[in-house]
Amino acid sequence: MKPRLSLLLAVAIISASALAYEVLLMRLFSIIQWHHFAYMMISLALLGYGVSGVFLALNRDRLAQLFPSTIMANMLLFSLSAPACFLLAQQISFNPAEILWTPVQLLNLCSIYLILAVPFFFAANVVGLSLYHYKNHVSSIYAADLSGAGIGSIGIILLLSIVFPEKILALLMLSGIFATLLVSSYTFRDSKHWTTLSVIIALTVIFTPPGWMTLTVSPYKSLNQLLQVPGTKVIDRYSSPLGLIDIVKSEITPLRHAPGLSLNATTEPPEQLAVFTDADNMTAITRYNGNPETLGYLDQTTSALPYHLKQLAEVLILGAGTGSDILQANYHAIKHIDAVELNPQVINLVQRKYADFSGYLYSSAHVDVHVDEARGYLAATDKAYDLINISLLDAFGASAAGLYSMAENYLYTEQAIQEYLRHVRPDGYLSITRWIKIPPRDEPKLLATVINALKDANVRQPGQQIIMIRGWQTSTLIVKNGALSAEEISRIKQFCNERSFDPVYYPGISESEVNRFNIQQPPYLYQAAIALLGDQSQAFIDAYKFNIEPSNDDRPYLFHFFKWRTLPEILSLLGTGGSFLLESGYLLLIAALVQAILASLLLIALPLWLWKSKLGIEPGSGSHLRMLAYFFSLGLAFLFIEIAFIQKFILILHHPLYAITVVLSTFLLSAGIGSYFSANLSYRTEKPVFILPMAAIALLSIGYSLGFEAITEFLLKTGSLSRYLFSIVLIAPLGFCMGMPFPMALAKISQTSPELIPWAWGINGCASVISAILATLIAMQFGFTVLIFLAVGLYGMAAWCFPNSIRV
Amino acid sequence: MKRVKHLIFWLVVIGVILLLFSTHVIAEDDFHRQRYAMVNIIKGEVTATREFLNQESLDKRVSDALENVPRHEFVPDNERPYAYINRPLSIGFGQTISQPYIVAIMTDLLKLKKTDRVLEVGTGSGYQAAILAELADSVYTIEIIEPLAIRAAANLKRAGYNTVHTRTGDGYYGWEEAAPFDGIVVTAVASHIPPPLIKQLKPGGRMVIPVGAQFMTQYLVLVTKDVDEKITARQILPVSFVPLTGKH
C-alpha cells in the first residue's frame, strides 16, 4: 500500500514541529536556565526517539492493527505534550550551582529531561509507525521525515525572529493538530471523531486567553537579581533567534555599570539603562549628552591604554553592543569609528529606540555601524585601522565558571588574530580586554594563541610587539603591528601608575614592576607571559594545570580549559570552596555522554537480551548484530558530518545563526530528496549499488575536508549571496548521498524481516543522541578534520556490515 | 477518683512541657555540637590554604566568633538542618548566605580590633554582621532588598545582636554619618568597587570583596589603604591550588 500525500505531509509537519521544538527548547532553557544545561537537557530528551523505537519494536503488531488510531493519537499527544511538558519541566526547581552540595538537584535534572523526552517519543512514534506500516515505501516516509525536519529548521528561525519564544509553543501545538486533521480528513476517511476532537482542541488553544504561558526564570540569573532592587522594572523586551533582550530601568538606585574601573577613579557613570540577553550578560546603554567630560570614568579602565600610546584616527570596535567602547573612543576624540555588532536588535536599541538617551551615538557622523560578524566584516573589507578593539564580549559569571567550554569561538583563534593584524595599519594596535581569572585560564591561552599567530606570520620576536596590563578585575592585551618604542613603554608605565594598574608584560619588563598595586601571589600572568615568550613555551603549556593550548579554526575552543590530569586535585578541593576551579561545561558534556550511552545500552541491549524473539529476531541468528552495527554507525556518522560542516561553514557564511540554518536545512532537505531517490536503487540487487552512496559520501567529505582552505579562500572573495549559493551547491550533493543508506537498508529489511524496522529506527535514534554529544567532544579534543575522517570510517564500517547480511 | 484524674492530667501536661523544653535544649545542644565540628573543619581548611592566605592559622578570635554565632538563626527554616554544613545556602530573593569557610577568611582578612568600626554592604541574612559584631565595637550594615533587610534585622535581634546598626537602601555611598571605617565588607557584588567606599576607609583600613556568582566565590579581593592613603588590592584564591608547579 502506498502512503497518501496527506499522510506524507502530516509526517513532514510532525518532523518539522519536533525539530522546531528542539531548537525552541534550547532557546527557552537558555533563558530560564543557562545555555550549557539547556544543551544537556535537550540532548538527553532526544532519547525519546530511542524509547519510541523499543516501544514500537515490542508492540508493533498490536499498534499496526490500529494504525489509523495510533498514528492520530500520537500526533495529538505530541501537540498536547509539547507545551505541557515544558510547563511542567520549568516548575521543577533546579539550580545547577547547587549540584555539588545538594544531590537532589541531580534528581531534578533527570526529571526534567525525562519529562522533555515525552513529546519526542510521540513524534518518533509517528515516523516509526509509518515506516513500519508502509514498509514497502520507507524511502518516501523517511524523505518526508527529513524534508519536514529541514523545513522545521528554517521555520523555527523565522518564527523566533517575529514571535516571543514562549508563544511559539502554542503554534507548535496547532501545527500538530493540523497534521492530525490532515490525516483524519484525507488519509483515513472514516475517522470523523478524530477530526471533531482535533477541532475542539484547536479551538480551545486559539480561544484560551494569552498569558497561560509565562517563563519562570531562575532567581539566580542576573536579570532577576537586579529586579529585586526597588524601583527597577523591565521597560522593553525584544526577541530574536540570537537571544531575548530585556531593557531594565532603575528609577531609584542608579545602575553604575563600569566593570574594571580603577581603584583611583573618583567619577561614576552617568544614568544608564541595563540590557540583558537571555536574562543574563548585562550591558548598559549610557546617557550621553555630547559632552565627553561625562565619560571620564571610561578612561579609568585597562581598555583605555591604546588611546594613551599615540594619537589614533581610525578605530574599529568589534562587538560594539550597547556602545560603551564607542563612548570610550569618543572621550578620546577619535575621528572615525567603525562599529561592528552581530545582533541587529541591539543596534536598533541604541540607534532608534533609545537614540535620544544615548545621544544619537550610532547616528553620529563619525560612527559607521555594521551589522555583521567580526571576521565576516574584516574578510569583506580592505580598510586598515590604527586600533582594532575587542572588549569584554562575554559576561564575567559565565566566563569564569567554565560554562562556555563547549562553545566554539572564532574571534580568538590564531587565524582570527592574523586576520585582525592584516587590518591594523603599520604601528597600529590590536587590543583585547578580558576578565581577570584567578588562577588565569583564558588570558594565558589567548597570549599563547597571539604568540603562535605572530610566529606563523614570520614575526621573529613576538615579544617586541606585545603589551599586557591588568587591574583588579580586567586585563588588556595589546599587539602592535611593529616593534614597541621606548616612548610607548614610558607611556604604558605612566598610564598604569596613574590608575593603579600593573604591567604584566612589555619588552624589557622586570619582575619588580609587575605586582605593585593589584597583588597576585604569585604573579601568575607575568610568569605565563615570560614562559610563553621563551624557548620552553610548549613545556609550560604542557605543565600548566589547565588546557592553554593555542586555539585555531579547526579547534576554536578558547574557553576549553579542562585537563583530566588536574581533575583529582580539583575534586579534593571541592569541600573547601574549590568548585569554581571545576570546568563544569566540559564535565557536563562528559556526564551527558555517559548518560546517553547508558540509556542507549538499556534501550538497545536490554530488549535484545530479554525479548529477542519478541523483537522479531530468530533464535540462533547472529546477523542482527551486524544490522545493529550498521544503523548505529549511520546514526553516528550522519551527525558527525553534519556538525563538522556546520562549524566549517560558519567561517564561510560568518553569521553562526545563518550558517547553522542554511547548512542544516540544506543537509536535511537534500537528504530527504536522496532518500526519495534511493527507492530507485533499493530494487537493484548488486552489492556495489548499495555501497555507491557511501563511497560518494567518503569521497566528497574527504575532498571538502582537504580542500577546505582553498574553498574558504575562494568563497570569501565572492559576494554574500554567492557565498550562500555556493555553500548550498557544495553541501547538497553530500546531503543527497547521506539521505540514502538508511532507507536503502530499511527497504532491504522490509523484504526479509520487516518486523525489525522499528528496532532499526530506535537504534538510529539512540546513535543520533550519542553522536551529537560525542561530536562536540571529539572536535574539542582533536578538531573538526578528525571528526570528518572518523565519520568516513563509520560509513566504511556501515558499508562492510550492509551487503547480504541483513537477513535475520 | 477525680483527684487521681486531676493528678494524671497535670503529670501529662508537665511531661509534655518538659518534653518540649528538653527537645529545644537537645536541639540547641545539637546545633552547638555541629557548630563546633564546623569550626574545626574550617580551621583545618585555613591551615591547608595558609600559603595563599599569608597566615598560619585562623585567628582564634574569628574561630570563637564562628563558634558563638548561631548560624541556624540566620537561615530559612527549611535550610536549618544544613546550617552547619560548610556550604552556601539559599536565603530567598535569589540571594545566598556564604559558605562559612569564606565568611571566616573574609572576616580574618579584616584583622579587626575590639575598638574598630565596620561597615557591611549587603546584609543578606545578617550572619556576617553578627560575626563582625563579635569582633568589633560597632557594625553598620546596609541591605537594598527591603524584605531581606527586615528579616536580617529580626534575625540579628533574635540572636541577641541588638547593637548592629541596620539600614535599608543603596550601599554605593556607604554610611557617611558613621564613616570612616576600619573595615568594610562588600558582600553585594558590584561591577566595580564604589569610589565612595574607598573614601570612607580609614588610613590603615581594610576592605574585603568576594568576586563570583551566587553559590560560588571565585576569589577574594582585599583592598588596603595605607597610612599615606595609597590603595593596593590583593587578589586571594581561597583554595590551595597552584596552576603550575616547577620551573620553566
For the segment A305-341, what is each residue's pLDDT rounded down to a tens digit? 999 999 999 999 999 999 999 999 999 999 999 999 9
Nearest CA in chain A to B95: A220
* Strand B95-97, strand A474-480: pairing: unpaired
Q: Which of A228, A439, A440 sits opposite B241 (nearest CB)?
A: A439
pLDDT for A401 equals: 47
Q: Which of residues 212-251 of A touch B (CB under 8 A)?
A: 219-220, 224-225, 228-230
Place of cell 544537556: A40
What pLDDT score does A756 carry? 85
Nearest to B232 among A517, A524, A534 (CB): A517
Chain B residues inside the 8 Å CB shell of A280: none
Compute φ and ψ for A437, nearest 5 degrees: -125, 140
- B170 contact residues in A (CB cutoff 8 A): 252-253
Which residues are registered as beta bridge partners of B225?
B231
pLDDT band at A404 (very low <50, low <70, confident <90, very high): low
Rg (CA), chain A: 28
Lowest mean pLDDT segment, chosen from A444-448, B158-162, B194-198, B235-239: B235-239
Residue among A228, A268, A569, A581 with most chain B CBs within 10 A, to mutate = A228
Question: Residue A438 and residue B198: Cβ atoms within 8 Å?
Answer: no
Provide the pLDDT confidence category of residue A184 given band limits of 50, 70 and 90. confident
Provide the 3-class DSSP secondary structure of residue A165.
helix
Query: In which order are the strands placed within the sheet that holds B138-143?
Result: A518-520, B231-236, B216-225, B201-213, B181-186, B117-121, B138-143, B165-168
Residues 6+ apart with CB under 8 A from A344: A240, A371
Among A441-450, A659-668, A782-791, B44-53, the range scoring the smallest mean pLDDT is B44-53
Question: Is residue B245 predicted with pLDDT exceeding 70?
Answer: no
* Average pLDDT for A458-465: 93
Q: Assess whether B138 carries a catalytic annotation.
A: no
- Residue A349 CA to residue A357 CA, distance in Å, equals 10
Q: Which cell goes with A802? A: 550492509
Q: Which of residues 74-103 of A touch B (CB under 8 A)?
A: 95, 97-98, 101
Model pLDDT for residues A743-785, shown as the tens digit of each residue: 998 888 888 888 888 888 889 888 988 998 899 899 888 988 9
Contacts A543 to B, Cβ<8 Å = 244-246, 248
- Choosing among A576, A581, A582, A583, which should be mutated to test the B contact, i.e. which has the most B CBs within 10 A? A576
Residue A92: count of CB within 10 angstroms of its CB: 15
Residue B53 contacts residue B222 (beta carbons within 8 Å): no
**Cβ of B45 and A576 within 8 Å?**
yes
Which residues from B are below 8 Å from A252, CB to CB? Answer: 170
A593-637 pLDDT per residue, tens: 998 899 888 888 788 778 777 777 776 666 778 888 999 999 999
The stretch A406-423 carries a mean pLDDT of 90
Residue A464 has pLDDT above 80, yes or no: yes
**Which residues on A lie below 8 Å from B223 (Cβ)?**
263
Angle between helices A708-716 and A687-706 (to 10 degrees): 60
DSSP states of A433-466: EEE--SS-SHHHHHHHHHHHHHHHTT-S-GGGSE
Residues in chain B: 248
pLDDT of residue A405: 62
Closest alpha carbon to A744 in A797, A671, A664, A796: A671
pLDDT computed for residue A617 by the predictor = 74
- Res A807: pLDDT: 44
Contacts of B43 in chain A (CB under 8 A): none
- Dump pLDDT digits (tens) for A136-176: 889 999 999 999 999 999 999 999 999 999 999 999 999 99
Q: Which amino acid is at A637?
A: A
DSSP state of A135: G
- pLDDT value of residue B163: 87
H helices within chain B, ranges in order?
A: 2-48, 50-53, 60-68, 100-110, 127-135, 146-158, 195-199
CB contact under 8 A, B214 and A220: yes
- Smallest CA–CA separation between B194 and chain A, in Å? 8
Q: How far apart are CA A708 and CA A788, in angstroms?
A: 12
Contact A270, A286 (CB under 8 A): yes
Specify whether the CB–CB gap between A116 and A741 falls below 8 A: no
Nearest-by-Cβ selection for A228 from B86, B93, B193: B93
Search chain B and give the residue with CA nearest A571. Answer: B241
Position A398 confidence tier, pLDDT thresholds 50, 70, 90: very low
Q: Which three cell numbers stand for residue A551?
A: 586555539
Q: Does the pLDDT at position B190 exceed 60?
A: yes
- Give this complex's ipTM: 0.85
Q: Is B101 on the interface with A (CB under 8 A)?
A: yes
Percent over 90 (pLDDT), chain A: 52
A517 shares contact with chain B (CB less than 8 Å): yes
Distance from CA of A651 to the nearest CA of B (A): 33
Return the SS3 of B52: helix
CA distance B233 to chain A (A): 5
Mean pLDDT along residues A335-354:
93
Query: What is the C-alpha separation between A148 and A18, in angstroms, rounded?
Result: 9
Q: Which three cell numbers stand for residue A415?
A: 587565524
User: In a 3-state reduction of DSSP, which class is residue A551?
Assistant: coil
Whether A97 shows a pLDDT value over 80: the answer reads: no
Distance of CA A354 to the CA centre of its chain: 30
pLDDT of residue B16 exceeding 90: no
Q: Give A27 or A584, the one with higher predicted confidence.
A: A27
Q: CA of A610, closest CA in chain B: separation in Å?
A: 44
Which pLDDT tens digit goes with each residue over A791-800? 999 999 998 8
3-state secondary structure string, A697-744?
Answer: HHHHHHHHHHCHHHHHHHHHCCCHHHHHHHHHHHHHHHHHHHCCHHHH
Range 24-63 of B in CB contact (< 8 A) with A:
45, 48-49, 52, 54
Q: Say how far apart CA B116 and CA B175 lie, in whole Å.
A: 15
- Average pLDDT value for residue range B24-50: 80
Interface test with B, best of A93, A98, A438 (most B CBs within 10 A): A438
With beta carbons less than 8 A apart as the criterion, state whether A468 and A504 touch.
Answer: yes
Is the CB of B241 inside 8 Å of chain A's CB atoms? Answer: yes
Residues 178 through 237 of chain B touching chain A, CB cutoff 8 Å: 190-195, 198, 211-219, 221, 223, 231-237
Nearest-CA neighbor of B142 among B186, B94, B191, B98?
B186
Q: Given an 8 Å threshold on Cβ–Cβ distance, is B233 in contact with A580?
A: no
Which 8-state DSSP code applies to residue B230? -
- What is the pLDDT confidence band of residue A540, given thresholds at 50, 70 and 90? very high
Task: Provide the residue type at A244 as one letter.
Answer: L
Instruction: Give every strand in the sheet of A385-391, ordered side by side.
Output: A367-371, A336-341, A314-318, A385-391, A424-435, A474-480, A466-470, A502-505
Q: Do A473 and B211 touch (CB under 8 A)?
A: yes
In chain B, what residues touch A577 (CB-CB under 8 Å)?
Answer: 99, 101-102, 217, 238-239
Q: Is B10 on the interface with A (CB under 8 A)?
A: no
Q: How far is CA A699 from the centre of its chain?
A: 28
Say if B247 is an interface residue toward chain A (CB within 8 Å): no
For the ranges A442-446, A610-614, A647-651, the lowest mean pLDDT is seen at A610-614
* Mean of pLDDT values over A666-691: 84
Strand partners, A475: A434, A470
Give the model's pLDDT for residue A434: 93
CA angle, residues A585, A561, B50, in degrees to nearest 5: 100
Nearest to A256 among B191, B214, B238 (CB): B191
Helix, coil or strand: residue A75: helix
Percent of chain B with pLDDT over 90: 52
Q: How far is B114 from chain A (nearest CA, A)?
A: 28
Q: Is pLDDT above 70 for A686?
A: no
Contact B172 A259 (CB under 8 A): no
Nearest to B214 by CA among A391, A107, A32, A400: A400
CB A312 within 8 A of CB A386: yes
With contacts defined as CB-CB under 8 Å, which chain A residues touch B94?
A: 219-220, 224-225, 228
Q: How far apart are CA A585 and CA A587, in angstroms?
A: 6
Quick one: which of A170, A168, A207, A193 has its CA closest to A72?
A193
Q: What is the mean pLDDT of residues A242-250?
A: 92
Q: For residues A158 and A240, what is the distance between their CA atoms, to the nearest angstrom?
A: 9
Which member of B22, B63, B98, B125 is catalytic?
B98
Task: Using DSSP, state whether A687 is helix, strand or coil.
Answer: helix
Please name the residue of chain B whose CA is at the shortest distance from the CA of residue A100.
Answer: B87
Q: Which helix (H) or strand (E) holds A529?
A: helix A524-533
- Residues B192 and A264 sit within 8 Å (Cβ to Cβ): no
DSSP output for A639-672: HHHHHHHHHHHHHHH--HHHHHHHHHHHHHHHHH
Among all residues of chain B, which has the CA nearest to that of A252?
A: B170
Whether B20 shows a pLDDT value over 70: the answer reads: no
A518 reaches B (C-beta below 8 A): yes
Residue B175 forms contact with A (CB below 8 Å): no
Phi, psi dihedrals of residue A390, rounded to the nearest 5°? -130, 115
Which residues of B are less than 8 Å from A570 in CB distance? 241
Least confident of A184-193, A523-532, A727-736: A184-193
A-facing residues of B in 125-144 (CB < 8 A) are: 144
pLDDT higher than 60, residue A67: yes
Q: pLDDT tens digits for B68-79?
A: 999 999 999 988
Strand partners, A317: A339, A389
**Percentage of residues of chain B with pLDDT beyond 70:** 90
What's the gap in Å between the CA of B167 and the closest CA on chain A? 14
In this prediction, residue B248 carries a pLDDT of 46
What is the distance in angstroms between the Cα of A225 and the nearest Cα belonging to chain B? 6
> What percentage of chain A reaches a pLDDT higher than 70?
96
